[in-house]
Amino acid sequence: ELKVEQNPLFLSMQEGKNYTIYCNYSTTSDRLYWYRQDPGKSLESLFVLLSNGAVKQEGRLMASLDTKARLSTLHITAAVHDLSATYFCAVDFRLLEYGNKLVFGAGTILRVKS
Amino acid sequence: DGGITQSPKYLFRKEGQNVTLSCEQNLNHDAMYWYRQDPGQGLRLIYYSQIVNDFQKGDIAEGYSVSREKKESFPLTVTSAQKNPTAFYLCASSPRRRTGELFFGEGSRLTVL
């Protein structure tokens, strides 16, 4: 079964603190995506990770991919209120008979408190 | 500007009625997708289309129908057979060779009264 698990599902942090969101997946893939969603809004692409060891950074967010461990992390440095949103990871699984299938995690709701 | 346009943004429906959600893109993308989002859950794939005049069922296709008569357009009909249609519906597109990086529309929120 293709599964993508994020944790934590809810994260309340103080401004200025660091934290990491984890995304585990059930079977081999080397393509993983992180999206951000503001309340009531659409999803916005944050990072595209296409190989083992890939690391991407944008502002206070850094994403990495370890395909051997089937794990991606989204690290938040010195959080600010503007980062409050829901963050989704999505894994692109290649299936012989099906082609590609993109499976989303349940999302992590991040609230940054001042 | 290039993008994906969904309409309507909000829609109310009585039980037993079919409704159609519009999705138009001018990104020249081959693939288009419909997802459903419920509170506290990730996105679930309803239908997708890799090319004009062809589409496939996703994980939760029952009670939904689609068409792909033009590259730019991928409307979704929520039929009366869909038992729990109240949800947030998101349309997305991608260039064929990069299926995972999706570009999303603003979404349509359907409420059944």
Phi and psi (nearest 5°) for B83?
A: -75, -30
> B107 CB near a chain A CB, below 8 Å?
yes
pLDDT of the residue at B97: 56
Tokens representing B63 are: 């009670």
In chain B, residues with a C-beta closer than 8 Å to the C-beta of A4 are 42
* B84 CB-near residues (< 8 Å, 6+ apart): none
Closest-CA distance, B8 to chain A, in angstroms, reads 14
In the structure, what pLDDT confidence band is assigned to residue A76 with cuts at 50, 70 and 90?
Answer: very high
| Model confidence pLDDT, tens digit, residues B54-80 | 999 999 999 999 999 999 999 999 998
In the structure, what pLDDT confidence band is assigned to residue B24 with cuts at 50, 70 and 90?
Answer: very high
Supply the mean pLDDT for chain B.
Answer: 91
Beta bridge partners of B21: B76
pLDDT over 70, % of chain B: 95
Question: Which of B34, B37, B45 would you mutate first to test chain A, the one with the most A CBs within 10 A?
Answer: B37
In chain B, residues with a C-beta closer than 8 Å to the C-beta of A90 are 43, 100, 102
In this predicted structure, which of A17-26, A82-91, A92-101, B37-46 has the lowest mean pLDDT?
A: A92-101
Contact between residue A79 and residue A94 where contact means Cβ atoms under 8 Å apart: no
Contact between residue B74 and residue B23 where contact means Cβ atoms under 8 Å apart: yes
